[in-house]
Amino acid sequence: MLRYTYKELTTFSLVMLLMMWAFYLLDSVHSHWVEGRVRSHVSEQLVQKSVVLSNTLNSKISLLYGLRTFVEIDPSQRRLDQEFEYVATSLRASSKGVRALQLVKDGVIRHMYPMEGNEAAFEHNLLEDPRPSVPLTLRNAMESDCVTLNGPLELKQGGSGIVARLPVRCEGETWGLAAVVIDLPELFAEAGITSDEHSLMVAARDANRSTFFGSDNVFDHAPEIQRIPLLEGYWELAAAPSTGWLALVSDQVISFRVASGIVLLLLFSLFVVSTRSKFVLHKLVERRTRELQKANQDLQGEIDARRRTEIDLVSARDKAEHSDRLKDAFLASMSHEIRTPLHVILGYVDLLRAPEAEIAEDKEMYISSMKNAGSRLMRTVEDLIHISSLRAGTFKLRRTDYDVVSATKKIVRNVHSVAEERGLELVFRSNLVRAEMHADPYSIEQCISNLLDNALKYTEKGTIEIAIDGTDTHCSISVRDSGIGISEGYVHSVFDVFSQEVSGYNRPYDGLGLGLTLTKRYVELHGGSVSVESEKGKGSTFILELPVISTVPHAIPEVERSEVRHEVEAPALTLIKQSMRVA
């Protein structure tokens, strides 16, 4: 009998441990789910309150325009002394929480309403104010044409507030400033925001993380935060339970735990019954254990499936949005790249219809321009065909033994005249006499031409340098320019198809955004790589790394420089490309 009792106790203990683990897991998932719902509700409330607060602040700032108009009509001192109080009374009556309306001239508060409670600020020279932000924002306001905010700050007349200032100009000259002093506690009260709302602590801080409403402790309790954009900078409105998020949802969590406790109590009752019917209880425990294990597995599987579904949906949404942006950019670029040469061709066709005597001198120029426009249109179509072929995997390399150094030197010499016309210095450096590789000459030359064309396109002055170096197994070709450079946020997308840093019909440079994409695909087909280093406003460096069969180094590095004609302004750039073939 004792042996069976130990066996039953062991079985029950194992089942209890499994049940406790399962309920612990369920309790954790349930707690996080409930907390998430509460956070979502708090976040919605913060959004509503931030909108109300922003609207309330803007309504008070709008008083500045009425005050400015009043002064600009007639800024004479006599009129201001007689009518300012009447106008200010009318404006202030329409908006609560306005501490004072002021007119500032030569940095001194000359007029103010109401005077009661604000005596300490009247005739105060703001340019000599010991608070650093006051004279700084005052000068900014004088030089600006829009509203400038100062604060939150401690007011000279007592209390905390925000000062909005707007320049007043009369006959083209700056007369002074119109100012509205907004009481900060009244502003939040009018927006319906208090520091303690329904067991929630509410606080606000500025862009410098300085808390000016509520307690600093709010930001230490994992709060929900809503950012409120301002004319200059932003505020962050935060809310968190004073006792923590778990305490806020404790009622729902306790109910779930009570239900779990009831289940455990039922299992204990089964153990008591087992002393009367060991066989029945043994079978029952086995069955219950299997059911609970299956339920736990099913629940865990459902949780994992939902997480995977959520990740897939977010990824699909991001891909769809990215595809839409690429489609819009492609359509804008494509329409421009096709319509521009067509307009050129059609325009010169109309000119060629003129009598022969009138166009005899310009006829060759017309035909040449039409040919260039047609070539540009053909290049656009061929680029599209090539990128389509590469993406479909149907592009075939036509490999042959090939000296990449000679090919590069030839391409550089072909663009000497373009660089000279634009007033650019073109420098070719090579540490290698030859670099033999088994490659498709067309693809390699297109890669070098694309990088050189981009350097010419985006460089208005300075130097473009092409450098070749390498070892017995690889060759490095770098193209460095002193052009406009690439922003840090865009440099990671520079090789994406149809990608352009500035897109749309009004972009400053032509192109479909295919050159660098084609370059990357061609280089990778040869087992090489392409990389970029760039800084906005200082230029870019693109580096091709290619595998080679053999190299012959120079005893003394070779250097070639093009002549620079500084007195000639850079004309519109014509891209220099090798004749292209369709894969």
Residues 79, 131 share a domain: yes
- Looking at per-residue confidence, does 340 or 478 come out higher? 478
Residues 350, 426 share a domain: no
List Cβ neighbours of 99 (8 Å cut-off, separation of 6 or more): 117, 118, 155, 157, 159, 161, 181, 182, 183, 186
Residues 516, 425 share a domain: yes
List Cβ neighbours of 425 (8 Å cut-off, separation of 6 or more): 419, 462, 463, 464, 561, 562, 564
CATH of the domain at 433: 3.30.565.10
Domain boundary residue, one of 392, 413, 429: 392
Q: Tens of pLDDT along 167-178?
A: 998 887 889 999
User: Which pLDDT score is estimated for 182?
Assistant: 92
Determine contact, residues 426/419, Cβ cutoff 8 Å: yes
Domain boundary residue, one of 187, 217, 246: 187
d(CA 492, CA 512): 18
Residue span of the structural domain in which 387 resides: 344-392
Domain boundary residue, one of 153, 187, 221: 187
Residues 388, 471 share a domain: no
Count of C-beta atoms within a 10 Å radius of residue 510: 15
- Looking at per-residue confidence, does 378 or 180 come out higher? 180
Instruction: Supply the pTM of this predicted model.
Output: 0.42
Q: Tens of pLDDT along 250-284?
A: 767 777 777 777 877 776 677 656 665 666 676 78
Q: State which amino acid sits at residue 375.
A: S
Query: Do you know the residue count of the chain?
Result: 583
- Does residue 252 form part of some domain? no
The SS3 of residue 317 is helix
Of 219-223, 418-422, 492-496, least confident by mean pLDDT is 492-496
The whole-number average pLDDT for the span 434-459 is 89
User: Which pLDDT score is estimated for 333?
Assistant: 61
Residues 556, 421 share a domain: yes
- Looking at per-residue confidence, does 80 or 380 come out higher? 80
- Does residue 289 form part of some domain? no
Residues 375, 489 share a domain: no
Residues 492, 385 share a domain: no
Residues 474, 410 share a domain: yes
Mean pLDDT of the chain: 81
Band of residue 572 on the pLDDT scale cut at 50, 70, 90: very low
Band of residue 544 on the pLDDT scale cut at 50, 70, 90: very high
Residues 556, 485 share a domain: yes
- Does residue 224 form part of some domain? no
Domain count, the chain: 3
User: Which pLDDT score is estimated for 322?
Assistant: 65
User: Which pLDDT score is estimated for 436?
Assistant: 93
pLDDT higher than 50, residue 509: yes
**Segment (H or E) for 228:** strand 224-229
User: Which pLDDT score is estimated for 432?
Assistant: 92
CATH of the domain at 118: 3.30.450.20
Q: Tens of pLDDT along 469-492?
A: 999 899 999 999 998 888 887 777
- Does residue 409 form part of some domain? yes
User: Which pLDDT score is estimated for 478?
Assistant: 93
Residues 521, 404 share a domain: yes
List Cβ neighbours of 402 (8 Å cut-off, separation of 6 or more): 436, 437, 438, 439, 441, 444
